[in-house]
Structure 1
Amino acid sequence: MEIFDAVVIGSGFGGSVVTARLAEAHQRVCLLERGRAYAPGTFPRGPHATASNFWAPDHGLYGMFDVWSFSELDAVVCSGLGGGSLIYANVLLRKPENWFPQGDAPEGSGEHWPIGYKELVGHYEKVERTMGVQRYPTDHEPYRSTPKTLAMQEAARRLGLDWELPHLAVTFGNPGETPVPGVPVAGGAENRYGVPRYTCRLVGECDIGCNFGSKNTLDLTYLSTAEMKHGAVLRTGCEVKSFTPTSDGFLISYLDRRLDPAEGDRAEGERDTPVPHVVRAHRLILAAGALGTPYLLLRNRSQLPDLGPALGTRFSGNGDFLGFVFKARDRHGGQDTPRLLHPSFGPVITSAMRSPDRLDGGTGRGFFIEDAGYPDFINWLVEQNALTASGHVLRFLLRRGWSRLSHSPRSEVGRQLSGALSKGLFTATSLPLLGMGRDMPTGRMRLRDGYLDLDWDTAASDAYLHRMNGTMRALSSALGGCYASDPLSYLNRLITVHPLGGAPMGRNRQEGVVDSYGRVYGCPGLSIVDGSIMPGPVGANPSLTIAALADRAADAVIDDLDAGKRRSRTRR
């Protein structure tokens, strides 16, 4: 049986960081990821491939998008080497310094963070360096003229809100060079795939996987370094089902689906016959995400009798909320013309505005609003429906028919086709808005018939959601547009791409599942380093804070492993 110093379950912003740190410290570490690896150029495109790009192993689907549905919430997470970094919108924002409440009682709807901003500053900086963050380079064209970025800046000014170009884990330009779309990234092929990478082409495909390698995803940064330079063992297609404490660590049982062709030839259908494996580790680190980790712990709770009562508590959607600006108008100087926003130009998110929290001296719970672009093919889908409804296509066909019947020598096909396609103004003057902030972390997870269930009364966050909705409406008005909130909100349902909590940090076993270093109370050798350890919403995009906490947790794991090795040598 294979024995490792540490086994890490999951390859998102927690698992990848810890794996790299342990490997760098000469620990023998194995990372187990249930999904497959995606080299630049292999992300699915087209209707057929996209239809299979979901995670539902019981139905033979092993794609990236894992959609969970609960009574009042839907959540979208990622399955694949690099975790959520494969499909997130690249934003690496720090949790605001004042947004670490430490005076509220954790009972009820309050929250207490057993760690503050100052303790994370150094770790934030390390993660930002490793991820190669850059801001959207508006000092240069064509970035300077990005319509949605200019619109968000203007709207923030009119609303009196702070606006910024956040750090993005995207390569827009090589060091010391003027940023240019689509040029080779310096040293870009020095990754685990050996595939060249290119600077951002501004096509809005960040959330479906970047086929140009412009995103500095975790597999191209932390994991490539861990594997290529420090010998970390990365195994894809490996889904952990159970783990058992032993006298000197853990036995970890997983199913290997062998999803990646690089692992050897397979007979047709062999993918559907997973192979069971067991490995041993002195330390076990859970990083399966805010849904996966609590689910694993709940399913294996009989093996962990000293787990405290906080398991499953403090769930939050990080305040995620969708809104839409449409039919924006430019009314400067007395004119009234369509305002072009072109949401598909640029990366998905370029800028953010912030509404202050009561912790900053504002009123209510604070939040961010960011522009949310999308791939250009979405424009065609939307405009096709609009064209069919408007009769443009029917008029084109009638005119072509009349031209044939009348034998007219006059060719106006170009003009008629242009008219049939309209001007695409509906999508060109529309812009999705992504909001997130400090909602109420009152959700609780449990097992029901063997499946993960979530009881989260979103009514506790009504005041927060009302403020968010009102600000998005005002933003739309500032751009001369109409406003629509997420249609699911009318059904009292929300959707989140940032689920948090379920194994929260706390000052003791009664208050939390883990301490501020991610060490599980009552379970020596077990740590958690993903979004499940948040005792409340991050408020900003949570990826950077998850990674920073994981970097800090790695210090403790390395110290413990080194101490264990010293004790072992002494006993000899």
Structure 2
Amino acid sequence: MSTRPDHATSAGSISLSRRRLLGWAAFGAASLTGATTITAAAGPRPSAPGPAGSGAFVPAVVVGTGYGAAVTALRLGEAGVATLMLETGQLWNRPGPDGKVFCGMLDPDRRSTWFKNRTEAPVASFLWLDVVNRPVQPYAGVLDRVNFGQMGVYVGRGVGGGSLVNGGIAATPRRSYFEEVLPQVDAGEMYGRHFPRALAMLGANEVAADWFERTEWYRFARVAREAATKAGMRTRFVPNIYDFAYMRREAAGEVPKSALAAEVLYGSNHGKRSLDKTYLAAALGTGKVTIETLHRVTKIRREKDGTYVLTAEPIDAEGRRLAPKEIGCRYLFLGAGSLGSTELLVRARDTGTLPDLGAEVGAGWGPNGNVMAGRANRLLHPTGARQSAIAATCIDDWDDPAAPVFADVAPLPAGFETGISMYLAVTRNPERGTFVHDRATDRVGLRWEREQNAPAVAAAKSFFDRMNKANGTDYRYDLFGPRPKAFGDDFCYHPLGGCVLGRATDAYGRVAGYRHLYVNDGALIPGSIGVNPFVTITALAERNVERVLAEDIAR
């Protein structure tokens, strides 16, 4: 697979490359001026008043800038539809006092965390010592952990959403499981057209096998592979949106280090093809898309003429509130992720601003069966003081009929030898949560009990017990809290569901009960997809917006 698909010679690819250049220029201009409104020279601005007298108006609004939102905005812009994107976080391309945009994992500062006094890393302790998390100043940082009592959900805050902070693993789900999870979607069309298109647009690539086998930076992955092989499990390379060619140059000392400088959890300063480098840059380059940053959408209502009106609450990066805005639109696309899109619709239904929304809105949420675990290797199998922060391999045991597991072989780049093999396991957990609105506080919470993660933990335990038995090893019990604990099972990286395709929406993300209202993100997937989900979210968004543009949008 080409790592630079936009370098193809077709007229369409040349046009795409030009649009990306225009988009990068727009991002650069915003960085120089500190502007919160990002647009190419011809980009649209909301006009006032709207047709319903509601204030500013733009034909289409996309809430969010994550994977589904970015796809939606690009295709709307290409179709000539003036589109406004509203993003809660800030644009991340302006260097801080240290000359870097993002801070590192080992020395986090206020850039790391969304308006909290302390970082909340998934690995919470080492040898039961509280040495991982650090106090920070409240700021519009890049990573948020939204805590719902018994489940914490990690989300990215900024232009590019989760693409800024994820591990970049661009996995495609097992076709049989995709067909089981989303039976109303034509799998032949997805695997023949939309998955390849998504992977190309995202710039997915694989590590070169010869370099992987000899470099010190992936010793940890080779040790994990050896342990899996002894247990009869299959390890394979998995695509990533981090540029592995750049990583090789990092190792050679030719370019600034990013993956090899323990950068990923709080953003990557180099090498990563986050959405601001791909879909969003191309969307801005159409000249039809504008992004407003630090704008949190809190309310949606519909006027009698069918116009949707959104209330947005702007802030600055220090958290100071600015004057609220009302923005009207004809077409409203929710791409704020499983949490964000679902919260907006649940609140709108339960406060009566969109009263025709059904009971399926808010239902069908799941953490994609996420469970983290660490294994203590024997002294003869060191994992290496130097570790790339980007995963390149997975252990694929999804064919186990009793306890299917897809496990990312995760790094633990502590800067010294730990002897730990780390994994993020994706399991098959049928349990689902529901989002509910509290009228007294106007907050939307998640009904999810710790016991609901029991199937995921059982599957992970079966998987890692086999590996430990085959290798004479044991769990690391010190990584996930102050007491002995083998599994990190109270948080997730892969929130899915809440507005499930074919239940809360039709088969293409049109919200039931409302014309020209759409969901086009991870909220559509019912709680599980069997692998890291962002490629599926991207491909499904491509499918959905293609149909909507053909049938719904007046041009």
Cα offset for 1:452?
Answer: 2.2
1:61 aligns with 2:130: no
Match of 1:77 in 2: 155
Q: Is the 8 A contact 2:143 2:156 kept in 1?
A: yes
2:283 match: secondary structure: helix
Q: Is the 8 A contact 2:102 2:112 kept in 1?
A: no
Contact 1:293 1:532 (8 Å CA) reproduced: yes
In structure 2, what residue type is equivalent to 1:276?
P
**Structure-2 residue corresponding to 1:307:** 357
Q: Does 2:310 match 1:252?
A: yes
3-state secondary structure, aligned to 1:363: coil
Task: For residues 366-398 of structure 1, give each alpha carbon's deviation from its aligned partner in whole angstroms, at most 9, with x where no partner exists.
Answer: 2211111144xx44xxxxxxxxxxxxxxxxxxx
Q: Using the alignment, how far apart are the partners of 1:100 and 1:138 within structure 2? A: 28
Give the alignment of 1:115-126 within 5 angstroms: 115-121=185-191, 122-126=193-197
What letter corresponds to residue 355 of structure 1 in structure 2?
D
Residue 462 of structure 2: SS of its match in structure 1?
A: helix
Q: Deviations over 1:490-543 (max 9, x none)?
A: 79952111111111112xxxxx11122111111110111111111230110011
Would the aligned equivalents of 2:501 and 2:507 in 1 still touch at CA under 8 Å?
yes
Tell me what 2:77 maps to: 23
Supply the distance in 1 between the matched residues of 2:61 and 2:450 (Cα, whole angstroms).
36
Is the 2:179–2:185 contact (alpha carbons within 8 Å) kept by the matching residues of 1?
no
Partner of 1:172: 244
1:172–1:7 CA distance, 2 compared to 1 (3 A): same
Change (3 A) 1:451 1:345: same
Aligned length: 466
Distance 2:104 2:222 in 1: 30
Corresponding residue for residue 513 of structure 2? 522
Q: 1:215 to 1:320 in 2, by over 3 A?
A: same
Deviation at 1:555, TM superposition (A): 0.7
Corresponding residue to 1:206 among 245, 250, 264: 264
Q: Spell out the pairing of 1:131-530 with structure 2 (5 A cutoff).
A: 131-140=202-211, 144=215, 146-173=218-245, 179-181=248-250, 201-212=259-270, 214-246=271-303, 247-259=305-317, 272-301=320-349, 302-326=352-376, 328-329=377-378, 337-342=379-384, 344-357=386-399, 362-375=400-413, 378-379=414-415, 424-425=416-417, 427=418, 429-448=419-438, 449-484=441-476, 487=480, 494-506=490-502, 512-530=503-521
Deviation at residue 312 of structure 1 after TM alignment = 1.3
TM-score by length of structure 1 reads 0.75
Displacement, 1:222? 0.8
Q: Secondary structure at the match of 2:269?
A: coil
Identity of aligned residues (%): 24
Classify the secondary structure of the residue corresponding to 1:275: coil
Q: Which amino acid aligns with 1:168?
A: N
**What does residue 417 of structure 1 align with?**
none
Partner-residue secondary structure (3-state), 2:275: coil
SS in 2 for 1:292: helix
2:110–2:138 contact (8 Å) kept in structure 1: no
Shift, 1:198, TM fit = 6.7
Does the CA-based 8 Å contact 2:90-2:294 persist in structure 1? yes
Q: CA deviation at 1:143?
A: 5.7
Partner of 2:124: none
TM-score, length of structure 2 as denominator length? 0.77
Residues in 1 aligned to 2:241 and 2:213: alpha-carbon distance in whole angstroms: 19
Give, in whole Å, the separation in 2 of the partners of 1:228 and 1:258: 26
Query: Could you list the per-position Cα deviations for residues 118-147 of structure 1 after superposition, in whole angstroms to 9, with x for gaps in the alignment?
Result: 231211111111111111222226865521
Q: Distance in 2 between matches of 1:182 and 1:323?
A: 28
DSSP 3-state at the match of 1:552: helix
Q: Which runs of 5+ in 1 are unaligned?
A: 103-110, 186-196, 260-268, 330-336, 380-423, 507-511, 566-572
Gaps of 5+ in 2: 1-47, 49-55, 118-136
Distance 1:434 1:250, change over 3 A: same
Q: Partner of 2:169 in structure 1? A: 91
Does the aligned pair in 2 maintain the 1:134–1:172 contact within 8 Å? yes
Query: Any idea what SS the aligned residue of 2:73 has?
Result: helix
* Alpha-carbon distance between aligned partners in 1 of 2:472 and 2:459, rounded to the nearest angstrom: 20
In structure 1, what residue type is equivalent to 2:249? V
Q: Deviation string for 1:403-423 (max 9, x for gaps)?
A: xxxxxxxxxxxxxxxxxxxxx
SS at match of 1:75: strand
TM-superposed deviation, 1:356:
2.5
Deviations 1:143-202, CA, capped at 9 Å, x for gaps: 65521221232233222223211110011227xxx95337899xxxxxxxxxxx978653
Aligned partners of 1:204 and 1:373 also within 8 Å? no
* C-alpha distance after superposition, 1:207-258 (max 9, x if no partner): 221112x010001111111113444101111111112223243122212224
Which residue does 2:201 correspond to in 1?
Answer: 130
- Aligned to 1:43, the other structure's residue is in SS state coil
- Structure 1 pair 84/529, CA: closer, same or farther in 2 (3 Å)? same
CA contact (8 A) 2:262 2:388 kept: yes
Work out the CA distance in 1 between the residues paired with 2:488 and 2:237: 32
* Aligned counterparts of 1:147 and 1:491: Cα–Cα separation in 2: 23
Q: Does the CA contact (< 8 Å) of 1:437 and 1:538 recur in 2? A: no
How many Å separate the matches in 1 of 2:184 and 2:213?
A: 44
Structure 2 counterpart of 1:353, which letter? I
Would the aligned equivalents of 2:405 and 2:463 in 1 still touch at CA under 8 Å?
no
Kept in 1: contact 2:84–2:289 (CA 8 A): yes
Q: Is the 8 A contact 2:194 2:539 kept in 1?
A: yes
Q: Is 1:5–1:561's contact at 8 Å kept on the other side of the alignment?
A: no
The answer to whether the Cα contact below 8 Å between 2:104 and 2:261 also exists between their aligned partners in 1 is no
Instruction: Provide the C-alpha distance between the structure 2 equivalents of 1:32 and 1:25, rounded to a whole number of angstroms.
Output: 19
Alpha-carbon distance between aligned partners in 2 of 1:101 and 1:77, rounded to the nearest angstrom? 27
The verdict on how the C-alpha distance between 1:57 and 1:206 changes in structure 2, with shifts beyond 3 A counting, is closer
Question: Using the alignment, how far apart are the partners of 1:293 and 1:253 within structure 2?
Answer: 14
Aligned to 1:557: 548
Mean alpha-carbon deviation: is it higher for 484-493 or for 291-300?
484-493
Which protein is bigger by CA-based radius of gyration?
1
